[in-house]
C-alpha cells in the first residue's frame, strides 16, 4: 500500500471500486439520450449544421471556465466527495432540461436546446476535475488500469442497452412525447449514478485542502506531453464528429432506429476492445496501441465519406468506436494517472480539464468552417479522416521523441536548419559570406601559452 493510501482497508477499496463501476453503468444508461440522440432531436426541430457545432462547442467553453474555480471550490469543502455532489447535480441537469423544449414557442426551441446543453457545463467543469481526483484518492494506482478497463466496458454496455431501448421507444411513440419521456427517464438514471459517487470514501486524509504543487502542472514536461496528446487526438476527432448525424440523417436517410443501431455497434466494438485493452498495452505499449487506434478512427470516418451505404455505415461505427475507446477512455487516462502525483492531483486535474475544454470548444468550429466553405458532408468526412491520420502520425512522433531523445534532437536541428534555408532562400554564395562574416566576428581562441 502506498503512503497516500494509509487510511485504506481492502474492504473500503473494494467498495470504492464497485461504486465507481456502478456509477458508470447508470451514467451510461442515461448518456445515450444526450450523446446519441440530442443531435437528432435538434435536427427534428429544424436545426442546421451550424447549430450542431454550437451544441458541441459551447458546453466545452463553459466547462473550461468553470474548471478554473475547482481549487477554490475544493478548499471550501471537507472532501473531494462533498466537492463533487453539487457540481455533479448541476451537470446532470443536461438530461432533464431538453424535455421542456417542445413546451416553448417554436422560435425559442433551438436557442433553448443550446442553453440546456451549455449551462450544465458550469457543473461539468468542476465535477469532471474533482471526479478524476476522487478516483486517484479512492483506488490504489496498481488497480487503476483494471478499473478503467472495467468502467469502459460497463459504460459501453450501458450505452448500448440504452441506445437500443431509446431507439425503439423513439420509433414507436409520436414526436415530441417520445423525446420528452426519454429525457425524464435519463435524468433519473443519472441521479442513481450521482448516488454511487456520493458513497465513495477516499483512502487518503481528505480534510486537508490541496497544497500548491512544487512544480506548476504547466511546467511539467511529462504532463505537457499528455496535454499534447490530448490536443492532437481530440482536435482531430471532435472537429467533424458533430456532423456525422447530419451526414447519416439528412444525406443517407437514417432514422432514429438506425441511429440506435449505429450507436449500438459503435459501443459494442468499444466494449469488446476494452476487455483486451490491458493485453494490448502489455504487448504493444500505450503509445503504439493509441497509434493503431487513432488510425482506425480515421478509417471509420473515411468510410462514411466514401460510401452512402447505411450497412457500411455500421462497419464504420464499429471501427471508429473501437479505436476511440482505446484512445480516449483508456490510453490518455492511463497516461494521465501515470504522470500525475496523487498529492497534487487537484491542480493537475484543473489544468487537464481546461485544456480538454479549450480543444473541445475550438474543434467543432473547424467543421463549421468547412460547411461555410461549401464543402459537401461526404468531403468533410474525408477531411476528418485525414486529420485523424495526421494525429496518429503525431502520436508516433511523440513516442519516438521519448524513446530516442538524442536522435530527436538531431532531427529537430536538421529541420530547423532546413526551415531557415527555405525561409531565407539565400544563394549559396550569400550563405558562405554570412558564415564567413559570422566566423570573423567570433572571438579568436587563445593558446594555452597566452
pLDDT in tens, 263-295: 788 878 887 888 888 888 888 888 899 999 999
pLDDT, tens only, 316-339: 999 998 998 888 878 888 888 888
CA 348 to chain CA centroid, Å, is 16
The 3-state DSSP class for residue 203 equals coil
pLDDT in the model for residue 257: 80
Q: Which three cell numbers stand for residue 328?
A: 480516449
pLDDT in the model for residue 319: 93
209/79 Cα distance (integer angstroms): 8
What's this model's pTM, rounded to 2 decimal places? 0.66
Distances in Å between the alpha carbon of 368 and those of 52, 390, 438?
9, 20, 49
The proportion of the chain whose per-residue pLDDT surpasses 70, expressed as a percent, equals 88
Per-position b or e across 274-287, b if 16+ CB within 10 A of its CB: beebeebbeeeebb
Q: Is the separation of the CB atoms in 71 and 350 below 8 Å?
A: yes
40/248 Cα distance (integer angstroms): 10
Comparing 153 with 433, which gets the higher pLDDT? 153
Mean pLDDT value across residues 222-240 = 88
Which of 121, 134, 59 is closest to 90 using CA atoms?
Answer: 121
Tell me the CB-side half-sphere exposure of residue 263, using CA atoms within 13 A. 34
CA end-to-end distance (rounded Å), the chain: 63
Provide the strand spans (E) within 203-292. Answer: none
Per-position b or e across 360-378, b if 16+ CB within 10 A of its CB: bbbbbebbbebbeeeeebe
91/361 Cα distance (integer angstroms): 17
pLDDT in the model for residue 272: 84
Sequence length of the chain is 450
Mean pLDDT value across residues 156-180 = 86
Whether 232 shows a pLDDT value over 70: the answer reads yes
Residue 232: DSSP 8-state: H
Let me know the angle formed at the C-alpha of 60 by 146 and 147, rounded to the nearest 5 degrees.
5
Q: List phi, psi (to 5°) of 387.
A: -65, -40
Domains of the chain with bracketed CATH: 12-203+220-407 (1.20.1250.20)
Mean pLDDT value across residues 352-377 = 82
pLDDT, tens only, 9-18: 677 888 888 8
Q: Is the separation of the CB atoms in 330 and 149 below 8 Å?
A: yes
Alpha-carbon Rg of the chain, whole angstroms? Answer: 25
- Work out the pLDDT band at 403, boundaries 50, 70, 90: confident
Which of 248, 261, 297, 84 is closest to 159 using CA atoms?
Answer: 261
Amino acid at each position: 500500500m502506498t503512503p497516500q493510501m494509509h487510511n485504506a482497508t481492502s474492504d473500503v477499496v473494494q467498495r470504492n471500486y464497485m461504486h465507481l463501476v456502478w456509477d458508470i453503468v447508470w451514467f451510461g444508461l442515461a448518456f445515450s439520450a444526450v450523446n446519441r440522440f440530442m443531435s437528432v432531436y435538434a435536427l427534428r426541430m429544424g436545426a442546421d449544421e451550424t447549430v450542431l457545432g454550437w451544441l458541441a462547442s459551447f458546453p466545452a467553453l463553459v466547462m473550461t471556465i468553470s474548471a478554473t474555480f475547482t481549487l477554490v471550490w475544493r478548499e471550501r469543502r471537507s472532501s473531494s466527495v462533498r466537492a463533487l455532489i453539487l457540481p455533479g447535480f448541476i451537470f446532470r441537469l443536461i438530461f432533464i432540461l431538453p424535455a421542456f423544449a417542445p413546451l416553448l414557442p417554436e422560435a425559442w426551441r433551438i436557442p433553448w436546446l443550446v442553453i440546456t446543453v451549455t449551462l450544465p457545463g458550469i457543473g461539468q467543469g468542476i465535477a469532471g476535475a474533482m471526479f478524476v481526483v476522487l478516483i486517484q484518492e479512492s483506488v490504489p494506482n496498481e488497480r487503476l488500469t483494471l478499473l478503467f478497463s472495467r468502467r469502459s466496458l460497463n459504460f459501453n454496455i450501458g450505452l448500448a442497452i440504452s441506445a437500443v431501448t431509446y431507439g425503439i421507444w423513439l420509433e414507436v411513440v409520436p414526436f415530441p412525447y417520445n423525446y420528452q419521456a426519454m429525457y425524464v427517464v435519463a435524468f433519473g438514471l443519472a441521479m442513481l449514478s450521482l448516488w454511487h459517487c456520493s458513497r465513495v470514501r477516499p483512502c487518503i486524509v481528505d480534510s486537508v485542502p490541496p497544497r500548491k504543487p512544487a512544480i506548476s502542472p504547466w511546467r511539467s514536461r511529462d504532463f505537457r506531453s499528455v496535454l499534447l496528446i490530448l490536443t492532437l487526438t481530440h482536435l482531430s476527432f471532435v472537429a467533424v464528429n458533430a456532423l456525422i448525424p447530419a451526414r447519416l440523417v439528412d444525406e443517407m436517410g437514417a432514422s432514429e432506429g438506425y441511429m440506435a443501431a449505429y450507436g449500438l455497434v459503435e459501443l459494442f466494438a468499444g466494449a469488446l476492445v476494452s476487455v483486451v485493452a490491458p493485453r494490448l498495452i502489455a504487448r504493444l505499449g500505450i503509445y503504439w496501441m493509441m497509434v493503431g487506434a487513432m488510425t482506425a478512427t480515421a478509417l471509420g470516418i473515411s468510410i462514411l465519406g466514401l460510401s452512402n451505404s447505411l450497412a457500411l455505415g455500421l462497419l464504420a461505427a464499429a471501427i471508429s468506436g473501437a479505436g476511440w475507446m482505446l484512445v480516449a477512455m483508456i490510453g490518455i487516462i492511463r497516461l494521465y494517472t501515470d504522470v500525475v502525483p496523487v498529492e497534487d492531483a487537484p491542480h493537475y486535474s484543473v489544468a487537464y480539464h481546461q485544456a480538454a475544454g479549450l480543444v473541445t470548444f475550438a474543434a467543432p468550429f473547424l467543421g463549421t468552417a468547412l460547411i461555410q466553405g461549401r464543402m459537401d458532408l461526404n468531403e468533410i468526412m474525408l477531411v476528418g479522416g485525414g486529420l485523424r491520420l495526421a494525429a496518429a502520425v503525431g502520436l508516433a512522433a511523440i513516442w519516438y521523441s521519448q524513446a530516442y531523445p538524442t536522435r530527436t534532437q538531431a532531427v529537430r536541428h536538421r529541420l530547423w536548419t532546413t526551415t531557415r534555408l527555405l525561409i531565407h532562400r539565400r544563394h549559396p554564395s550569400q550563405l558562405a559570406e554570412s558564415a564567413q562574416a559570422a566566423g570573423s566576428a567570433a572571438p579568436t581562441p587563445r593558446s594555452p601559452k597566452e
